[in-house]
Amino acid sequence: MTFTSLTDADRAAMLAAIGVESIEQLFDDIPAAVRLDRPLDIGPALSESELYDHMTALAARNVDVGRELSFLGAGMYDHYVPAVVDAVLQRGEFLTAYTPYQPEMSQGVLQAIFEYQTAVCELTGMDVSNASGYDGTTVAADACYVAKLATGRTRIVVAETLNPQVRQVVRTFAPGFGMEVVEVGHHDGLTDPEELRSAADGAAIAIFQQPNFLGLLEDAPALAEAASAGGALATAHVDPMSLGILEAPGRYGCALAIGEGQPAGNYLSYGGPHYGFLAARQDYARQLPGRIVGETSDFQGRRGYVLTLQTREQHIRREKATSNITSNQTLLALAGLVYLSWLGPSGLREVGERSHALAEHAKRRLGLPLAFEHPTFREFVVRTGRPAREVIDECKRRGVHPGYPIGRDYEGLDDALMMAFTERRTPEEIERLAEALSAVGVEVAA
Amino acid sequence: MTFTSLTDADRAAMLAAIGVESIEQLFDDIPAAVRLDRPLDIGPALSESELYDHMTALAARNVDVGRELSFLGAGMYDHYVPAVVDAVLQRGEFLTAYTPYQPEMSQGVLQAIFEYQTAVCELTGMDVSNASGYDGTTVAADACYVAKLATGRTRIVVAETLNPQVRQVVRTFAPGFGMEVVEVGHHDGLTDPEELRSAADGAAIAIFQQPNFLGLLEDAPALAEAASAGGALATAHVDPMSLGILEAPGRYGCALAIGEGQPAGNYLSYGGPHYGFLAARQDYARQLPGRIVGETSDFQGRRGYVLTLQTREQHIRREKATSNITSNQTLLALAGLVYLSWLGPSGLREVGERSHALAEHAKRRLGLPLAFEHPTFREFVVRTGRPAREVIDECKRRGVHPGYPIGRDYEGLDDALMMAFTERRTPEEIERLAEALSAVGVEVAA
Amino acid sequence: MKLIYEKSQASRRASSIPDPGVENGTEIPAALRRSEPPHLPELAEPELLRHFTELSTRNFGIDTGFYPLGSCTMKYNPRVNERLVGLPGFRDLHPYQDDADAQGALELMWRLQEILAEIVGLDAVTLQPAAGSQGELTGLTLISAYFKDRGEYEQRREIVIPDTAHGTNPASVTMAGYTVRKVNVDSRGNIDVDDLREKVGPQTAGLMLTNPSTLGLFEERIEEVASIFHDAGALLYYDGANLNAVCGISRPGDMGFDVLHFNLHKTFSQPHGGGGPGAGSVAVRDILEPYLPAPVVVRDGDMYRLDHDRPKSIGRVRGFGGPFGVFVRAYAFIRMWGPGLREMSETAVLNANYMLAKLRDHYDLPYDRHCMHEFVVSARSLKREHGATALDVAKRLMDYGFHPPTVYFPLVVPEALMIEPTETEAMETLDAFCEAMVEIVKEAEREPDLLKQAPHSRPVSRLDEAGAAKRMVLRHHFDED
Amino acid sequence: MKLIYEKSQASRRASSIPDPGVENGTEIPAALRRSEPPHLPELAEPELLRHFTELSTRNFGIDTGFYPLGSCTMKYNPRVNERLVGLPGFRDLHPYQDDADAQGALELMWRLQEILAEIVGLDAVTLQPAAGSQGELTGLTLISAYFKDRGEYEQRREIVIPDTAHGTNPASVTMAGYTVRKVNVDSRGNIDVDDLREKVGPQTAGLMLTNPSTLGLFEERIEEVASIFHDAGALLYYDGANLNAVCGISRPGDMGFDVLHFNLHKTFSQPHGGGGPGAGSVAVRDILEPYLPAPVVVRDGDMYRLDHDRPKSIGRVRGFGGPFGVFVRAYAFIRMWGPGLREMSETAVLNANYMLAKLRDHYDLPYDRHCMHEFVVSARSLKREHGATALDVAKRLMDYGFHPPTVYFPLVVPEALMIEPTETEAMETLDAFCEAMVEIVKEAEREPDLLKQAPHSRPVSRLDEAGAAKRMVLRHHFDED
Ligand SMILES: Cc1ncc(COP(=O)(O)O)c(C=O)c1O
Ligand SMILES: Cc1ncc(COP(=O)(O)O)c(C=O)c1O
């Protein structure tokens, strides 16, 4: 199956117009030694229906959240994505357009991004947002670069309760940025503001997560204050779905707010593509990486939207650029915008409240010892009294994935499971979870 | 989940503008005795995600053709519907528009129907096609009414090899039309032209099917000649997917060509919605039921399309109307147009050839006695030597639906299965069919 | 814009078909083989999709804007329904699948039957009919079967229909083999009961009535009307096209109707797809149940099955169990509303009355009553005074970005504009539409040519419909090649 | 057009959220609770969908028409890919699902890794990077790891880049902690090898090169260039943005490159979605394999798994295994073409050369050679003679229904217009575009204001980009309420 229009007659006419005998001749500039003299060994061409059968067979070998009752979270959540999101994303005019370099051709996507930026600012309480980062990990690295530019400093401080993947990405790129990473350990699952204060003194940036990776609510205002006291950019990594009920980072003094957009409008999709968001106080607008859309007007004074602050960007400033993003995640951010518009403020609050209520219900129902006795949002860590890996394997045989084996990332939690609850879960499903756990020897409440 | 915009404030303002106190008052004209004084007992309102879960649970209790290897056909075929069909149908401008009464608002759908009419005419070799009928059964009843109008006669002749459902629908409506139905039996699966000739003499219409319901190729030119000899409208019920390799009814003297559109671009969808097509020689254009689109021009002389020949229709002629179709199957016919455009003439031919080749391969591979020793297109009837119902039940336990129990419709075929093959089937699948049959004691070739 | 055929080029194509790799000699006799390939479009997929994408931009749907096409209930089509109908368990289910392996589909149909019966207050439902007009034909055929069974068929040859009826009603009557007996409408838009009494008698098989009527008015003396027919031994048929006005509020069964069709595609929101698909499910009182088309879905304990064994059945009216995809959407729609369907109808009626209030001083109002979910105004004065017709108003509305209302129907109102907002429109939209309607009246005074020449903003200007019927160009003709 | 926020109205909403029916007191400390709700849009779903539908009509995509945006490979996006990516087994798969229950996803990724390695002639692939520019940063970080391992990192601080390079190359170099060393381009558009020899030495870590270059020209002396670097102990990085020219024809690994990124979203057709998503998978020669980001997908017998145990890995560059949905589409695309990918590239190159032949007499041609899959012409004479710039030409093309090409890039060509037709365009489309380009030259002579004031046919006329940067209105501001 190919997607070309040229017929033999077309080809002949075109070669004649070019003035060559064969297509081969067009490749004369390629030295013989570097030409491939055999067909690519990548399997035969498939027709659409063969491809469909092949791919459905592959898909059938995955156990998606519709095929087992899953309490996995750990950064990616099974909130319901309404069909209207797909309807918008499948509009060819959005789907098959690229970066809106030519604003007159692209008012649709430009206005949508402007609306998205507004939504992110509203969620986070910030002044400015970019048009999207790659995901919730890379926006943290982006934030570090912003901080370096803004402060001239090089130390990055991260809380140990920040998502491990986020910390890993920061560590990968910090050396290239000329920065170093310091980690602040947790105490009983939480970050101590005073430890953060001293670590962040003289640092470029301090990043913490709310709710943190363990599902716990940090004393975010205290952390923000402690982080910024010594001049570092206080940066909260936040879950968009919490922001209907949890305070906006901009309201407790953060300079930057970042996060993973997946829970807000993107499918799980085995980890991507999703969008990361990055918002800042006005002071840092000119240091932000990524596309940014601004309002302007046309010859007739009509309102319109364009990519702006381009002097930050690679295509203008090249090696001096402060933004090195070209392709970004606009389509996923558009999904986020449609989803948040579908929710509205009350819907967002309800999703938060109901996920929270179900999680609290599950805590009560299971009655298992909590690994950390602190308030949580929609995810918590329990001790099962058995190696988590075994509990998972055995529950899965009963059609239940009971949660994330958090011992993978933190010491001393090998018997612990982190369980996530979204508005899609039901009390009946929590009952099934309790039954499965009980059946595999975990001592849940009767 | 509802889809209304009115807020309490809106409602109040609107009631004030109307000059009533409450919505109740707007219903004052309804006599008290016929008002419902309790809530409808239809289950609680569901949110979108609850609905989705409920519906996926229902869907999961159906064994679709992706979940078992199915050789069912008998009028509905598992040809592959390419994704581009969905992409077009999901365009809101097509999906959510209605009948193009206002042509200036509806050039998109009008031109599409004109293109569809052209495709149907090309397939069938006819001069004029309507914009779609409901399905492959109702177009047969429509054809009878056309014939009555055109001939002033009342006898309907149908071949016994015409799809039983089609015959049933004709029987249901014939009395209301003031018509009566005569059936011409089959001989060894085929219709005898001479029997048809005498039955059709003085009749309004004679309908036969090519390939017939038993999968066999009738001597269609002979049947058409025999049918029309006595002045009846020779009408072929044809399978669109056969028309890349089988002769067009218009070329062998039919007055009308009808058929079920499903195989050409519609999903199986448990039987509907699909489209029926109805095409005719020019002589019968003014008797055709259904919407018909014609070319015209606007004030500036630009080409455009409109619904035409409306003096046939119910909204103009009321009880004298010859067309009583308002809502039709345009969206499904559009799917047909997109599919046929995707195929092109060579694709249509290839689907036909390859389905045929697979069926022939299966005949050879299975080596089972054929119920009828005549050429077939992509479906044939074999004798299994056991009650078909049992063979089906036992094969299904092995994940194979071996075919349609044709004994349901025709005497003496209780041990027979009718098996259909489309381009989606493979030699490996035919092997699986052979294995399943063999495992349940049917004596397939080794 | 070019036709797809005009964009074709020999030996282009979009499709690729699997090669089974088996012997491919044909067993088809030469005499039956196609002599010349059909002229189907030949384009690669990119051009194919562009063609239809461009075509779509020349079309207006509910997604584009307000579509107050009276009698058609052009409400929002929830996108979740498209998702559901695309689930492989529904989409790819063969209609001859064994009942045991189609339990989800059968349960859905059974539940829908039950729900529909409850909504209209009748006893049994067939989902088979393909659209409203086929529902009518089915309903009338049921009535025939009933009277045949009672030996009254030959006697009862008339169906009474008011002037306001939709065209399919009289057309269905004829096709079902009956004669139409017309009854007048009185000054309040109701059936003229005195006239009615004269027309009903032993020759009467039944009444066909839309209630609320196509004027958007509830039949105030419906109980009396019903008894006139029942007293005469005749039956009442309810045209359900206007059910959106009364869900959860008043039930046709309780009004005295014996048989009706739903337009599932209207009341319960189907994407109309430029003309269809629809579904014309029919509900009946118990006396008519034996005659329902076979098969019907029945429940035996925990299992659902297609019941083909219905000796008195009129037979099939369509293939299989009916347009299943439409059922999926209708069922989904109803489940989202639940008993709130009442609020749905209330909102539809409120919206219509609000518009009526805003327009009543600017257009002629044939019947001065609260309307139900739709209403009819007339451009009679406008025509008389400024020569601007209902059609001109309709065309001019396009320039304001609105789909026009239904025009010239019902026939009893000259220069009719039949406006149905549905429940899914926002007040601002209704305001904007009414403002445009009022503005157009002013334009008619000021500059009538603005209307006569309208539309000015569409891909084509006004099209010559009469010319089309004369020319009869009904398909593309290919140059002989 | 109004912003969605300007259409909002308090207490409207589209969503409805299940009520779990459990105790719903909150356990969240008051001090952490939200003090004021965010201003998110408040609309019912019908208005929501209309808003985005209308917005979409103000946008131009490949589905709308020709989009010859040089360097971006705007080819047709097969719709089957959208179907596949929506299969629940892919769409709803949690990334922390156990490997044993994600075998289909892992197999797909593993197969894609293998295929990509074969296409470029290198040994190993990581799918993790999110886009081309992140692929670059990843590749440079791999180079750093390699030199750190060999103790040469402190010494090798320079990356050589030609003038023609895309902006992300130098930007990535800086972010990876290197210094850019520029090398000139000679009169045929190749790297100036004499200049190069002077710039490469013990301080050199590597070269970053796009081949064919952003001029659309194949680097004729690539073997020599490669040995200059390898002889100096440095590595070669290949920017894969232009891979669409050479699939199945010439492989970067065979040219001497050691590491490269793919732009899966270009070569292997992803819907670009108004800016993204993309994928910048990176392929490396065996010497760099130990440093690849973890995890990578490996195959053990019949099983596939994520290998996290990579002691020399540079670490993660993105979450999870990368943008999986992009892999589904890229894999699907490649499987449809199979070894025919060669024909894909040939067609892309043929299309470009055909356009070049049609335009060469009308615009300035900086380098007179056959081009590869794209080419660059200049509006320099047009500007000098008629004051019409490349930008004016671009804007005027909109009025002809085309998306403009890339303009003002590469920087080495003044008034550059960079045109990339891809393989999916029909000859008629190329003809129509070229005719428009030629016509625009005539318009520039005749009526230059037509260009200067263009576009004339879009929802807005030319927008003030400088003004936007000054005003800095980057979000909607709500009236205090
Ligand atoms: C009042 C009325 N009755 C009957 C019908 C016929 O319904 P359908 O279009 O579904 O055949 C319609 C709609 O067209 C209608 O408005
Ligand atoms: C030549 C070249 N290199 C690198 C890139 C960067 O790729 P991406 O947009 O995927 O980050 C691009 C595209 O923008 C490009 O054209």
DSSP B387-433: -HHHHHHHHHHTTEE--B-GGGTSTT-TTEEEEE--TT--HHHHHHH
Could you write out the DSSP letters of every residue in B328-339? --HHHHHHHHHH
In whole angstroms, give the CA distance from residue B307 to residue B109. Answer: 11
Ordered alpha helix ranges (H), A253-378: 314-317, 330-366
Determine whether the interchain pair D79/C44 forms a contact, defined as Cβ–Cβ distance below 8 Å.
no
- Cα B349-B355-B357 angle, rounded to 5 deg: 100
In DSSP terms, D364 is beta-bridged to D378
Chain A nearest C-alpha distance from D381 (Å): 23
- Strand B293-297 to B303-307 pairing: antiparallel
Q: Nearest Cβ partner of D248 from A30, A36, A134?
A: A36
In chain C, count H helices and then E strands: 17, 12
Structure tokens at A171: 């560590």
pLDDT of residue D480: 63
User: Scanning the structure block, which residue is given the tokens 């603005």?
Assistant: C450
Tell whether the torsion through CA atoms of B243, B247, B248 and B249 is positive or negative: negative
- Residue B142 main-chain phi, psi, to 5 deg: -55, -45
End-to-end CA distance of chain B: 58
Chain B contacts of A424, Cβ < 8 Å? 49, 53
pLDDT for res C24: 80
Which residues of chain C does D9 touch, with a Cβ-Cβ cutoff of 8 Å? 426
Please give the span between the terminal C-alpha atoms of chain D, in angstroms, as a whole number.
23
pLDDT value at position A1? Answer: 76
C34 CA to chain A: closest CA distance, Å? 25
Cβ atoms of C294 and C127 within 8 Å: the answer is no
Question: Closest ligand 1 atom to the C-alpha of C72?
Answer: 16
CB of C295 within 6 A of ligand 1: the answer is no
Nearest residue on chain D to B93, judged by CA atoms? D53
Quick one: pLDDT at residue A446? Answer: 85
Asked if the Cβ–Cβ distance from D46 to B5 is below 8 Å, we say: yes
- Residue position matching structure tokens 């901009």: A250
Question: In this prediction, what percent of chain D has a pLDDT beyond 70?
Answer: 100
Residues C290-316 have pLDDT tens digits of 999 999 999 999 999 999 999 999 999
Burial class for A183, CB neighbours closer than 10 Å (0-12, 13-18, 19+): middle
Residue to probe by mutation, ligand 2, list D263, D265, D326, D422, most atoms within 8 Å of CB: D263
Tokens encoding C153: 């068929």
Per residue in D460-476, pLDDT tens?
A: 999 999 999 999 999 99
Q: Give Rg (Cα) of chain D.
A: 25
If we measure between CA atoms, which residue out of B287, B254, B292, B260 comes closest to residue B144?
Answer: B287
Ligand 1 center to C266 CA (angstroms): 9
The pTM of this model reads: 0.98
Q: Which of residues 235-294 of B touch C (CB under 8 A)?
A: 243-248, 251, 260, 267-274, 285, 291-294
Helices A164-177, D168-175: crossing angle, 10 deg rounding: 100
Q: Is the CB of C214 under 6 A from ligand 1?
A: yes
Contacts C87 to B, Cβ<8 Å? 55-56, 59
On the CB side of A294, CA atoms within 13 Å amount to 21
Instruction: Report whether residue D239 contacts ligand 2, using a CB cutoff of 6 Å.
Output: yes
Q: Which residues of A are less than 8 Å from B83 in CB distance?
A: 48
Distance D167 CA to ligand 2 centre (A): 8
Q: Do A327 and D324 touch (CB under 8 A)?
A: no
Tokens representing residue B246 in the block: 């089988």
CA-based nearest residue in chain D for residue A328: D276
What six digits make up the tokens of A120? 């992110």
Is the pLDDT assigned to residue C199 strictly greater than 90?
Answer: yes
Residue B144, CA distances (Å) to B117, B138, B260, B313, B322 in order: 20, 10, 16, 17, 12
Tell me the Cα Rg of chain B.
Answer: 25
What digits encode the pLDDT tens for the residues A92-119? 999 999 999 999 999 999 999 999 999 9
The residue with tokens 């004649």 is A16
Measured in whole angstroms, the distance separating CA A351 from the mean position of its chain's CA atoms is: 19
The rounded distance, in Å, linking the Cα atoms of B436 and B420 is: 16
Buried b (16+ CB within 10 A) or exposed e, D394-429: bbbbbbbebbbbbbbbbebbebbbbbbbbbbbbbeb
CA B129-B132-B137 angle, to 5 degrees, is: 105
Instruction: Name the neighbours of A, counting chains with at least 3 Cβ pairs within 8 A.
Output: B, C, D
User: What ligand has the least distance to the C-alpha of D213?
Assistant: 2
Least CA distance to B405: which residue of chain C?
Answer: C96
Mean pLDDT of D309-336: 98
Ligand nearest to the CA of B326: 1
Strand-by-strand arrangement of the B180-184 sheet: B128-129, B276-280, B256-260, B233-238, B205-210, B155-159, B180-184
Residue pLDDT tens, chain A, 446 long = 789 999 999 999 999 999 999 999 999 999 999 999 999 999 999 999 999 999 999 999 999 999 999 999 999 999 999 999 999 999 999 999 999 999 999 999 999 999 999 999 999 999 999 999 999 999 999 999 999 999 999 999 999 999 999 999 999 999 999 999 999 999 999 999 999 999 999 999 999 999 999 999 999 999 999 999 999 999 999 999 999 999 999 999 999 999 999 999 999 999 999 999 999 999 999 999 999 999 999 999 999 999 999 989 888 899 999 999 999 999 999 999 999 999 999 999 999 999 999 999 999 999 999 999 999 999 999 999 999 999 999 999 999 999 999 999 999 999 999 999 999 999 999 999 999 999 999 999 98
Specify whether the backbone of D59 is left (phi greater than 0), alpha (psi in -120 to 50) or beta: beta
What spacing in Å lies between the alpha carbon of C213 and ligand 1's midpoint? 12
| CA B266 – CA C379 distance, rounded (Å) | 43
Question: Mean per-residue pLDDT for D187-191?
Answer: 96
Asked whether residue D481 carries a pLDDT value surpassing 60, the answer given is no
Give Dmax (Cα) for chain B: 84
Give me the mean pLDDT over the B256-268 stretch.
Answer: 98
Nearest to D316 by CA among A147, A141, A408: A141
Residue B1 has pLDDT above 80, yes or no: no
End-to-end, the C-alpha distance of chain A in Å comes to 58
The mean pLDDT value for D27-49 works out to: 97
Mutate to test the interface with B, among D64, D79, D336 (most CBs of B within 10 A): D79
Evaluate whether A227 touches A200 at the Cβ level (below 8 Å): yes
Are B66 and A56 inside 8 Å of each other by CB? Answer: yes
Taking Cα atoms as reference points, which of D188, D218, D427 lies closest to residue A27? D218
**pLDDT tens per residue across span D107-162:** 999 999 999 999 999 999 999 999 999 999 999 999 999 999 999 999 999 999 99
Burial class (CB in 10 A: 0-12, 13-18, 19+), B282: exposed
Beta bridge partners of B133: B276
DSSP bridge pairs for B209: B237
Atom of ligand 2 nearest to the CA of D266: 10
pLDDT surpassing 80 at residue C360: yes
Q: What's the rounded Cα separation, in Å, for the pair B349 and B351?
A: 6
Q: pLDDT value at position C442?
A: 98
- CA–CA separation, D168 and B169 (whole Å): 68
Helix axes A220-229, A193-200, angle to 10 degrees: 20
Ligand 1 midpoint to CA D405 (Å): 51
Nearest to B140 by CA among B219, B206, B93: B206
Cβ contacts of B165 on chain C, cutoff 8 Å: 316, 319-320
Which tokens belong to A15? 């070669």
Q: How confident is residue C480, by pLDDT bands cut at 50, 70 and 90?
A: low
Residues A351/A373, Cβ–Cβ less than 8 Å: no
Q: C280 C-alpha vs ligand 1 centroid, how far in Å?
A: 9
List strand residue ranges (DSSP E) for D120-266, in order: 124-126, 158-162, 179-183, 204-210, 235-240, 259-262
CA of C169 relative to ligand 1 center, distance in Å: 9
- Residue C132 near residue B327 (C-beta atoms within 8 A): yes
B419-438 pLDDT, tens per residue?
A: 999 999 999 999 999 999 99
User: Residue D40 and residue D28: Cα distance in Å, rounded?
Assistant: 22
Using a 10 angstrom Cβ sphere, with 0-12 exposed, 13-18 middle and 19 or more buried, the burial of residue A262 is: buried
- Strand pairing report for B205-210 and A400-401: unpaired
- The Cα angle at residue C59 between residues C56 and C62, in degrees rounded to 5: 105
Please tell me the total number of residues recorded for chain D in this structure. 481
- β-strand partners of C206: C159, C235
Q: ipTM of this complex > 0.85?
A: yes
Closest Cα partner for D191 from D213, D173, D206? D213
Looking at beta carbons, which residues of chain D come within 8 Å of C47?
426
Q: Is B21 on the interface with A (CB under 8 A)?
A: no
Q: CB of B418 within 8 A of CB of B73?
A: yes
Q: B233-238 and B416-420: which strand pairing?
A: unpaired
Q: What are the structure tokens assigned to D229, written together?
A: 């670097």
Contact of B372 with B216, CB cutoff 8 Å:
yes
CA dist C54 and C40 (Å) reads 19
Task: Report whether residue C131 contacts ligand 1, using a CB cutoff of 6 Å.
Answer: yes
Q: In angstroms, what is the span from residue D202 Cα to ligand 2's centroid?
A: 29
